[in-house]
Amino acid sequence: MRLAVTALAVALALLPVAACSSSGGGSSSPASTLVVGEFNPFTGPDAAFGPEMVGGCIPAIRLINAGGGVLGHKMSCVQEDTRGDPADAVPAAQKMMATETSLVGVLGPSSDEALATVPLLNTGHVPMFVDTGQAAFDHTTDAYFWRITPADDVKGYAMALWAHQAGYTRAAAVFGNDAGAQSDVPTLVGAFTKLGGTIVYNKPFALDQSSYRSEVESILATHPQVIFTEVDPQTAATFLSELQQLHGLLPVIGTEVSLQAPWLKAVNTAIGAASMAKYFEGMQPYAPTSGPAWQTFNKALLASGSKVPQPSQWSSDPYSMTYYDAVNIMALAMLAANSTSPAVFNKDVMTVTEPGSGKTVVTSFAAGKAALAAGKQIQYVGAGGPIVFNQWHNSTGAFEAAKYVNGNLALVGSVSAAQIAALTK
């Protein structure tokens, strides 16, 4: 009797461990729906991130399910709100891995929670297509980590190159004191200096203050020609409107944060549409709104209105495109590996994306599925362009500069991957 009780206790104790390991490493039961976790902030200061992710995941799932699913399974996107805070994100990750028994991968985490949750997801054998830009992951050896958006330090190079091309030689760096924004600064300063420019002001900003007038005065005393910036919408609106009221605006080059709808709306209202069009440009990963992959993405996106509010707002969003690509890559990797087990198909993420002679280039899940069924090797080229992972599972492309004119983003130029590579040497 005593032995039976002990055995039962041991079995009960091991039950959660078994459940956890099956979520990451085991195969899904027949006909179960495979889950992709949207692991990002949906509430809190970075609540804008989550909907951007939904704008990529839902169209991908729509096309995969319409194309017969993956190895007899349908797929679905499930929101996991990290609230942009590691304290909330860690339990959210643990809950997701424990309860989603058919979890095949996640989109995210973002910079807000990546350092705390990437190790957890990696240990749980959950492939993650992160949107964090933190340079800490530039040389990661985490096998389940995949990044198809440029790292923040690359963004700094792109901003410096764009300002240099415009002829600016004196710049002020106005970045928030949060980790995400500050990770842009070292490469921006180094690259701009290397290109012959001078950063005349570089002090982190406390966010969401009631006033930045003293900072405006300090910046103007250094006589910059251009302002580099990444701060949240409220801070940007207050700072730029005070700059405008007190002295008049200067040219502003922002990061992709400044090309998100909440930022554009807040600042556009604060400084006026005419000033916005005249003085502001934002840099974001280059994602051409053309080509067969983008057309497939956009068509599916626009048809997803019941699950994606105002879907057209994500048509030219490079992050939504990369989330869409990430889901397609995971689905194609499962087909290539003939397994829905992340531990098995994870290595095939590389297989289905890397270029190679004799490979069939595909631009959609349906085309990739057909090619794999025909016994061909494939290279998936996504809505965001070709994806070439390096040994640390990072893939970096070009950047584009955009203006905000009449309520729409207009492409005004680009910085190539080759230019960035030359600067990083």
Partner 1 sequence: MAVNTIIPAIGFGIVTASILAVAGVGFTLQFGVTNILNLAYGDIMTAAAFIAYLVTSAGLSVWLALVAGAAFGSVFSVLLNRCIYTPFVRRGTRLFGMIIVTIAVSLMVQNGLLAIFGANFFSLKMSRPAPVHIAGMVFTTVQLAIIAIAVVAMLLIHLLLRYTKLGKAMRATAADPDLARNCGIATDRVIDLAWAISGALCGLAGVILVMNVTAFTDTTGAQFLIPIVAVAVLGGIGQPYGAMLGALVIGITSEVAAAIFNPEYKDVVAFVILVIVLLARPQGILSEVATRKEVAA
237 binds partner 1 (CB under 8 A): yes
Cα–Cα dist 283/414, whole Å: 9
Question: Per-residue x/- marks for partner 1, 180-219, CB under 8 A?
Answer: -----------------------xxxx-xxxxxxxx-xx-
Measured distance CA(118)–CA(126) in Å, rounded: 9
* DSSP H helical ranges for 75-184: 86-99, 114-123, 152-165, 179-182
Of the two residues 55 and 382, which places its CB atom closer to partner 1 in the complex?
Answer: 55
Query: Measuring CA to CA, how many Å separate 281 from each of 144, 269, 275, 391?
Result: 35, 16, 11, 33
Q: How far is the CB of 200 from partner 1 (least distance, A)?
A: 15
CB-CB contact of 169 with 198 (8 Å): yes
Q: Report the nearest approach of partner 1 to the CB of residue 219 (Å).
A: 10
User: For partner 1, which residue of 35, 159, 231, 266 counts as binding (CB under 8 A)?
Assistant: 266
Is there binding between residue 238 and partner 1 (CB under 8 A)?
Answer: yes
Rounded least distance, CB 207 to partner 1, Å: 9
Residue from 170, 194, 265, 359 touching partner 1 (CB under 8 A): that is 265
Which helix (H) or strand (E) segment holds residue 186: the answer is helix 185-194
Q: How far is the CB of 217 from partner 1 (least distance, A)?
A: 5
Comparison of 272 and 291: residue with beta carbon closer to partner 1: 272
Q: Cβ of residue 266: shortest distance to partner 1, in angstroms?
A: 3
Minimum distance of partner 1 from residue 34's CB (angstroms)? 29
Structure tokens at 315: 């048509």
262 binds partner 1 (CB under 8 A): yes
DSSP class of residue 69?
-
| Phi-psi map region of 83: left, alpha, beta (phi>0 left; psi -120 to 50 alpha) | left
The binder of partner 1 chosen from 23, 149, 187, 241 (CB under 8 A): 241
Q: Which of residues 242-261 bind partner 1 (CB under 8 A)?
A: 242, 245-246
Nearer of residues 209 and 416 to partner 1, judged by Cβ = 209
Closest CA to 105 of 346, 344, 304: 346
Q: Which residues contact 170 (CB under 8 A, 6 or more apart)?
A: 197, 198, 200, 222, 223, 224, 225, 226
DSSP 3-state of 403 = strand
Q: Which helix (H) or strand (E) holds 6?
A: helix 2-25
User: How many other CB atoms are found less than 10 A from the CB of residue 198?
Assistant: 14
Q: Does 177 bind partner 1 (CB under 8 A)?
A: yes
Name the residue nearer to partner 1 (CB basis): 207 or 344.
207
- At residue 207, the 3 state secondary structure works out as coil
Residues 38-67 that bind partner 1 (CB under 8 A): 43, 45, 47-48
Question: Which residues contact partner 1 (rule: CB under 8 A)?
Answer: 43, 45, 47-48, 177, 203-206, 208-215, 217-218, 221, 233-234, 236-238, 241-242, 245-246, 262, 265-267, 269-270
